Structure 1
Amino acid sequence: MGNESNNSSCFIDDSFKYNLYGAVYSVVFIFGLITNCASLFVFCFKMKMQNETAIFMTNLAVSDLLFVFTLPFKIFYNFNRHWPFGDSLCKFSGTAFLTNIYGSMLFLTCISVDRFLAIVYPFRSRTVRTRRNSAIVCACVWIIVLSGGISASLFSTTNVSNTSTTCFEGFSKSIWKTYLSKITMFIEVVGFIIPLLLNLTCSSLVLRTLRKPATLCQIGTNKEKVLKMIVVHVAIFVVCFVPFNSILFLYALVRSQTISNCAVERFARTMYPITLCIATMNCCFDPFVYYFTSKSFQKSFNINPIIKMDNLFKVDSATKIALPVTHEALTEQMNINNGGELMSEANYKD
């Protein structure tokens, strides 16, 4: 990435990025480590039932922690502008970064699709929304993001000079043209454009479903919680990932010399570090998704632990919309963790 420009007549100084990265990574490391360790503890030890959405959220927390654990090395590097940790750790940190960014988008998309199925098709989706299928989907996500991350990180070799050693910088024009531009376009389509379209589509269909009078009757007092969940989910996706991936696309065109314009290159190389820092902050915001998506996650922190008997319409915002139930069915459901699977269709009363 460096400070040199593809255009020899265009001088660009993006050295501000080092202090910016160091400061932002320090904040992300502290908050990301605390919140994601706490979240993972809740998923593994406090939640009695691991439903399909909890599986997605657990994998998202693991993806965030893998990235957070590499941040101390990146902090040292950006403040000292020297990488003394070797080539292997350089490659691993590059893989962890890409895995976190695109793994987060894909796992958030899985949660969005799962919510869509639970709310729009609560009964017909029961055979699809299983823990086994969720585990298979998570395995596929890991294969995709690791394939892209490892492929890109093959070029994250350290460059040794007389004064310092760099990591994840200084890729040549030929590497950008022949390899990195193609890898970037692949992960942009698979890891960003498709998930973005799925998130927007699922969220809009859920909102349309909530506007129906019959659905309003079913949702009852929990409609506001579902709306908050959608807003938080989409906001994190749009704020953290849309700016970064938009600039990354332009950045790849500039670095591969598909676009040869000094003003465009200056804009791309100035905005790239800023949007990258915003993207890395997603691992601090993801616990908000857990909070608004899973009632079991809230209860693990003793938030709203009491089930009111006069509320006969319950929504587990992670997994289901429950219809009015009989007193016996409600009593049975109260003995099940709210993060559990959907009640059987026989328990619902028209």
Structure 2
Amino acid sequence: MSTSNSTTEDERVYAGIFGCIMVIGLPLNAVSLWILLRRHSFKSPNAVFMVNLALSDLIAIISLPMRIYHHATGTPLGIITCLFSVIIFRNNLRSSASFITFISVDRLLAVVYPLRSRHLRTPCNAWKGAALVWGFFLVVNIPEAIGFLKHVQNHTEHNCFQSHYYRSVTRSAIIYLQIVFLVTTLAVNIVCTVMVSWTLYNHLSVSAKVRNKVNVMLIFAINLVIFCTCFLPVPIHVLTKSNTSITPLVCLTVLSCCLDPLMYYFSFDSFWKKKEDVGRKL
């Protein structure tokens, strides 16, 4: 009885955490998206990647009521609802990691190779990269959805928010590939951070052109924190086949939706100014 009561309390705590993330993250990302579209438009690749990141976070936040309902009431979700929620969560993790890495690489090119990268740092190329990310992960969703439906057909009960269920419907190859993908993107972010910090503090000519070096480095710091605390724990937990609950780690992953707007603010010296006043600033 005590174990059951403890489990029920934990579920309510999870419902409260997801609720807080939704209440905070929804307006933050909605306002950030509005500012990015209205004030900065798509005149810089940085803005393009941030718009796509904000869209990914908004989609993830919109799916949170399903998790809140499940944890608050203990009611199992329907097959389609469960599939929808899980696919959105996985796509948010992957797409967020991709767009954050694109933002880091764009900052690297802007600071370290400002002249040689002009032909690469265009809105057109940024949209091509964003389209590639969305298209690739949508294709990956096909075998995942098929595996999910096959598992449901062979089991009368399911709980798609548990780690053992995640493993049962996901091929090991996909889990390993996701780990490799996240570690690779993290490595890219680390390299970008080191190169930009080295350039800013060792090349006076470049450093003088960057108006706010602290903001630039804060962007990279936020990126690394998001990767280490939000993106890596869930796939590592699944890979290690731990029997502990995966829900606290999912809470950390979804928390990235509240941290990403900080990056938007620090990315532009004039975040609130009109787009014609901002131009192509770093």
Q: Which TM-score applies when normalising by structure 2?
A: 0.84
Q: Would the alpha carbon gap of residues 14 and 114 (structure 1) be closer, same or farther in structure 2, given more than 3 Å must change?
A: farther
Q: Which amino acid aligns with 2:271?
A: F
Q: Which amino acid aligns with 2:280?
A: G
- 1:299 equivalent in alignment to 2:239: no
RMSD over aligned Cα atoms: 3.0
Q: Would the alpha carbon gap of residues 30 and 165 (structure 1) be closer, same or farther in structure 2, given more than 3 Å must change?
A: farther
The aligned runs of 1:1-350 (5 Å cut-off) are: 18-83=11-76, 86-156=78-148, 166-168=158-160, 176=167, 179-190=170-181, 192-215=182-205, 217-219=207-209, 222-250=212-240, 254=241, 265-266=242-243, 269-270=244-245, 272-299=246-273, 336-340=276-280
Q: Would the alpha carbon gap of residues 177 and 45 (structure 1) be closer, same or farther in structure 2, given more than 3 Å must change?
A: closer
Distance in 2 separating the partners of 1:30 and 1:150? 31
* Aligned twin of 2:3: none
- Structure 2 runs not aligned, ≥5 long: 1-5
Q: Would the alpha carbon gap of residues 341 and 230 (structure 1) be closer, same or farther in structure 2, given more than 3 Å must change?
A: closer
* Structure with the larger helix share: 2
Deviations, residues 85-104 of structure 1 (Å, cap 9, x unaligned): x3222211111100111111
Q: Would the alpha carbon gap of residues 92 and 217 (structure 1) be closer, same or farther in structure 2, given more than 3 Å must change?
A: closer
Q: Would the alpha carbon gap of residues 57 and 221 (structure 1) be closer, same or farther in structure 2, given more than 3 Å must change?
A: closer
3-state secondary structure, aligned to 2:232: helix
Distance in 2 separating the partners of 1:186 and 1:28? 28
User: Shift in Å at residue 133 of structure 1?
Assistant: 0.6
Distance in 2 separating the partners of 1:197 and 1:96? 25
Distance in 2 separating the partners of 1:89 and 1:80? 15
Distance in 1 separating the partners of 2:218 and 2:170? 42
Percentage of pairs with the same residue: 28
Runs of 4+ in 1 over 6 A off after TM superposition: 13-16, 170-173
Distance in 2 separating the partners of 1:73 and 1:56? 27
Q: Would the alpha carbon gap of residues 169 and 56 (structure 1) be closer, same or farther in structure 2, given more than 3 Å must change?
A: closer
Q: Which TM-score applies when normalising by structure 1?
A: 0.69
* Aligned twin of 1:329: none
Report if the CA contact (8 A) 1:49-1:337 is conserved: no
Q: Which amino acid aligns with 1:146?
A: L
Q: Which amino acid aligns with 2:239?
A: F
Aligned residues: 274
Report if the CA contact (8 A) 2:40-2:278 is conserved: no
Distance in 1 separating the partners of 2:218 and 2:281? 22
Larger Rg: 1
Report if the CA contact (8 A) 2:101-2:189 is conserved: yes
Deviations, residues 22-74 of structure 1 (Å, cap 9, x unaligned): 12211111111111111111122233553111000000011011111111111
Q: Would the alpha carbon gap of residues 222 and 17 (structure 1) be closer, same or farther in structure 2, given more than 3 Å must change?
A: same
Report if the CA contact (8 A) 1:53-1:114 is conserved: yes
Report if the CA contact (8 A) 2:226-2:259 is conserved: yes
Q: Would the alpha carbon gap of residues 232 and 98 (structure 1) be closer, same or farther in structure 2, given more than 3 Å must change?
A: same
Report if the CA contact (8 A) 1:118-1:125 is conserved: yes
Q: Would the alpha carbon gap of residues 120 and 170 (structure 1) be closer, same or farther in structure 2, given more than 3 Å must change?
A: closer
Distance in 1 separating the partners of 2:147 and 2:15? 22
Where relative contact order (Cα < 8 A, 6+ residues apart) is larger, the structure is 2
User: Shift in Å at residue 144 of structure 1?
Assistant: 2.6
